[in-house]
Structures are given as C-alpha cells and as structure tokens.
Homo-oligomer: A and B are copies of this chain.
C-alpha cells in the first residue's frame, strides 16, 4: 500500500525514511543494546546524538557562532511567555500582528511588559502584510516580534524587515515555527528565532530556540529556571531532562535534510527550491480555477500553508470525503478561517501536491 499524502498543519507528515530508521533502531540504537528513549541524557551515547543534532541544525540554517541553539519544551505558545520573560526586562516591546499566532504572542506578552501593536493586518482579515515602512516602531522597545509564517492564515514574510533601516535599534524576534528549515534565514536581521518542532523538525514536544548571546542573561525574576535562556544555554539544554527522543527524531530529520539535493543545491537551499515549486504548482492552479480561490495577497502567500475555498461551500464535506478516499488527508481548514488548507511542509513531496491538484480538477468537473 502506498502511503497517503498527509496535509496536516501540524503535527505533520514526517519523511518515511526517518520513521523507518527510528523504527529499526527502537530497541537497540547503534549496537548500544538500548533504545534512545532508554538512554540517560548524561551518557555518551545520547550526548553524541545531541551534539550531532545541534551541529547539523547549525550547519543547515547557517547559524552564526554568536547564536546559541537551545532545545526546549512547551512549543511556540510557551515561548509567547518565555520570550518576554527573558527579553522584555519588564519594559516595552513592539508586535506586528499578521494573524492568529502573532496575536496570541501579543496578548501573552502583555503579562510581562507593555506590548505595543506596531502594525496589524486585521483590517484585511490577515490576507496581507502591513508594509514595513508604515510600522509604528517605539523608540524604547526591547524587541520587535513578528510571526514569519502564519500557519492559520497562510501568510509568510518572504523578506525579513531590516529594523535598523526602519530606525529601530531593537532586536527582531521571529516565530518561525511553521516554516523553519523550509528556507534560508538572514541572521543579520534576527536577534532570536523560535519554533515548535511539529511541522518541519520532528515530533511535537521540542522547541528550537536560536538566540544571539548578548540577549541572554536579562530574565525577569519570575522566569522559571527551566525556561531561562541563560540557564538552559549554560547547561547545554540539560538543566532539566531534555525531551531526548524528540531531539533524536529532530536529528534524524536534520540528517535527511542534509541528504536533499536539487541540481547544485543541497540541504535547506535544495528544500527551498522544492518548496517554491510545490507552492507554485498549487497557487497557479488556484489562480486559474474558477471553482477554487485563495484570498491572500500574492506577495505574502505562504509556501507552507495554503488556505483555499470552494466556490460552493456546501460541497466542502463532499470534497473532503473524496480527498480522503484517495489518500489525501487533513485538508479541512482551521475553524477560524474555514474552507480548506493544504500544508506543504518539507516532508510533502511534489507528487503529493500534484495528486491534490489532479483531485481538485476532477472534483470540479463533477460539480458542473
């Protein structure tokens, strides 16, 4: 039986070869006699897994030496508190609201500091991005928060804002949960990046945090020690017992990513090339269809999460049932947006997108 194509927004499809390797090693990793779940996090076997994963993600994302890579717990929603606990100093921050996730970040940050809305695309129902030149940045913000890919609304920053050029000295914090490792990152514009693993990294339960060293060490007293970046970094992400198996799975995914090739390209660059092609295939189809539509402005359409609508929404259930019968899973849109959503993370092959487009064409014909 061929595997279905799983368009889940997260937790999401993982590469089959990663899952197969994990299954093969489940009871006995690398001749150690024990499975990865059973290893002391302080033992040399797990330390080797950890160090390889950290080195691989540093290489894949070209993370500069003055950034620490942390593996934490709690996902993006916990980081909505952990970031201001560590970086706000109880003062003020700027947030650009471009969808559900940045809005949640804004609301949670208000517990710890004065959070200003520098810009919002709520008026467009989050189908566009507010132009950076019009952001109202505060002169005293401790950082500026953006969500670089809004999973629910399908809006993505294709260029990171240059805060210095906009007159701000504040570091940029990016929530890159739902497009991490799908594209390269310009670290010269970033102070801190965080992402839950359950889209492009591995299983839910581990959070990747990449933080410029000078931003650590200023946590509020009320920051739990287990979530103080300085404490976590000083203990090599082992202040508390880390989610060892999730880190191992992330490491297998990093290795898989490093094996990706597209012509001259490899790793994340190869994956980005593939992700551009996958997104173009689906968006071109949507733009040429009369029965389907995507409402997001062309310059900020997400490569990862593509919300779309049927012209006749009374056909939604039939569309989903027909898709499922063909092994095209998890296409229902988020309840706050409605319609459909296809998530095209790294593990989704272009054949999956082609199968979706083929089905959408066939379904449309039955609606005449």
CA distance A242 to B73 in the complex (A): 10
B75 touches A240 (CB 8 A): yes
B240 touches A37 (CB 8 A): no
Q: Which chain B residue lies CB-closest to A21?
A: B26
CA distance A20 to B33 in the complex (A): 14
B33 touches A327 (CB 8 A): yes
Residues of B within 8 A of A81 (CB): 224-227
Does A352 lie at the interface of the complex (its beta carbon under 8 Å from any beta carbon of B)?
no
Q: How far is the CB of A150 from chain B (nearest CB, A)?
A: 16
CA distance A284 to B39 in the complex (A): 28
Most buried by B among A4, A19, A34, A206: A34
Q: Which of B20, B43, B74 contacts A74 (CB 8 A)?
A: B74
A74 touches B73 (CB 8 A): yes
With contacts A204-B245, A240-B78, A241-B198 known, is A14 near B40, CB below 8 A? no
Does A249 lie at the interface of the complex (its beta carbon under 8 Å from any beta carbon of B)?
yes
B10 touches A19 (CB 8 A): no
Residues of B within 8 A of A362 (CB): none
Does A191 lie at the interface of the complex (its beta carbon under 8 Å from any beta carbon of B)?
no
A243 touches B14 (CB 8 A): no
Q: Which of B3, B225, B327 contacts A27 (CB 8 A)?
A: B3
Residues of B within 8 A of A39 (CB): 8, 11
Residues of B within 8 A of A23 (CB): 22-24, 26-27
Chain A: interface secondary structure? loop
CA distance A56 to B185 in the complex (A): 44
A19 touches B11 (CB 8 A): no
Does A127 lie at the interface of the complex (its beta carbon under 8 Å from any beta carbon of B)?
no
CA distance A242 to B1 in the complex (A): 30
Residues of B within 8 A of A41 (CB): 11, 204
CA distance A27 to B37 in the complex (A): 18
A244 touches B11 (CB 8 A): yes
Which residues of A are in contact with B by a Cβ distance under 8 Å? 1, 3-4, 6, 8-14, 16, 19-20, 22-24, 26-28, 33-35, 37-41, 43, 73-78, 80-82, 85, 108, 111-112, 196, 198, 202-206, 220-222, 224-227, 239-246, 249, 327, 329-330
